[in-house]
Amino acid sequence: MILIGITSSIVEGGRLSTAIDNISAINDESVLPVILPNIEPDKAWHYIKTVDGVLLTGGGDINPMLFNEDPHPHLGDITPERDLFEYELAKAALAEGKPILGICRGMQILSIAAGGDMYQDLPTQYEGDLVQHRQRAPRGYRSHQIQLKPSSKLESIVTCTTMYVNSFHHQAVRNVSFPFQAVAWTNDRVIEAIEHHSHPFQIGVQWHPENMTDKQSKKLFQAFIHACTS
């Protein structure tokens, strides 16, 4: 059996929460999903020593202090405990070379942990016209198109250079730092995916494949699970 750590949100009433779809997406017969708590950041490194891979899940806004910015007027609710724990978790996974799949907020945390930054609010900070990044359709509906970089790891996994994805965000990766590179974009050129330049599977995607049933989403999770067994 392989252990995959799944990050969690802190919700009203002081409870930990993660969507069932996050668990179902990786609950292969060979996988033991483990929900990770948002506790002392230094314990994140011990978790990474234990698990075979980590799924950085979606959720609320990210504290801009992590990339040395003051809060934008349109910054939403933040959870400092989660931000600090996941930041250290991502840094530890990078240092230990563990497989990582970052989803939405998870991609943003992954990018920040590697030295990148982000838009705190796309509609007011992005220069240019935007497509709808907060869809009003059901979560499993593929809302807008993205273009993938040919010959990227992500393109080799989903086996296409153009696909449709869902979209639920007002924050996004802005500048990507080495060892990551941007490998997918919406038609407005907002970054939709990043990947490590040499690691077999350290990938972040801006959409929510855990809510989708298309073949590309299934291939992405299958590749992640396979990487965790290596």
Q: Please indicate whether residue 133 is annotated as part of the active site.
A: no
Q: What percent of the chain has pLDDT over 90?
A: 97
**Average pLDDT score over residue span 135-149:** 94
* Other beta carbons within 10 Å of 169: 20
Report CA-CA distances (Å) from 29 to 53, 181, 223, 224.
16, 32, 15, 14
Count of residues for the chain? 230
Residue 147, pLDDT above cutoff 90:
yes
* CA-based nearest residue to 53, from 1, 100, 102: 100
Q: Which of 104, 169, 195, 196 is catalytic?
A: 104
Query: What pTM was computed for the model?
Result: 0.97
Token pair 């990148």 is found at: 116
Q: Please indicate whether residue 228 is annotated as part of the active site.
A: no
Domains of the chain: 2-229 (3.40.50.880)
pLDDT band at 14 (very low <50, low <70, confident <90, very high): confident
* Predicted pLDDT of residue 12: 85
Residue 31 in tokens: 């996988």
pLDDT band at 159 (very low <50, low <70, confident <90, very high): very high
Q: Please indicate whether residue 12 is annotated as part of the active site.
A: no
Q: Which of 133, 144, 169, 208 is catalytic?
A: 208
Spatial contact of 130 and 193, defined as CB atoms under 8 Å apart: no
Q: Which residues contact 169 (CB under 8 A, 6 or more apart)?
A: 104, 105, 122, 133, 134, 206
Q: How far apart are CA 189 and CA 77, in angstroms?
A: 26
* Other beta carbons within 10 Å of 98: 22
Over the stretch 16-35, which tens digit does the pLDDT of each residue have? 999 999 999 999 999 999 99
pLDDT band at 190 (very low <50, low <70, confident <90, very high): very high
Backbone angles phi, psi at 51, to 5 degrees: -85, 160
Q: Which of 192, 195, 210, 228 is catalytic?
A: 210
Kindly report whether the peptide bond that precedes residue 179 is cis, defined as omega within 30 degrees of 0.
Answer: yes
Q: To 5 degrees, how large is the angle CA 179–CA 185–CA 188?
A: 135
DSSP lists the bridge partners of residue 148 as 184
- The mean predicted confidence, pLDDT, of the chain is 96
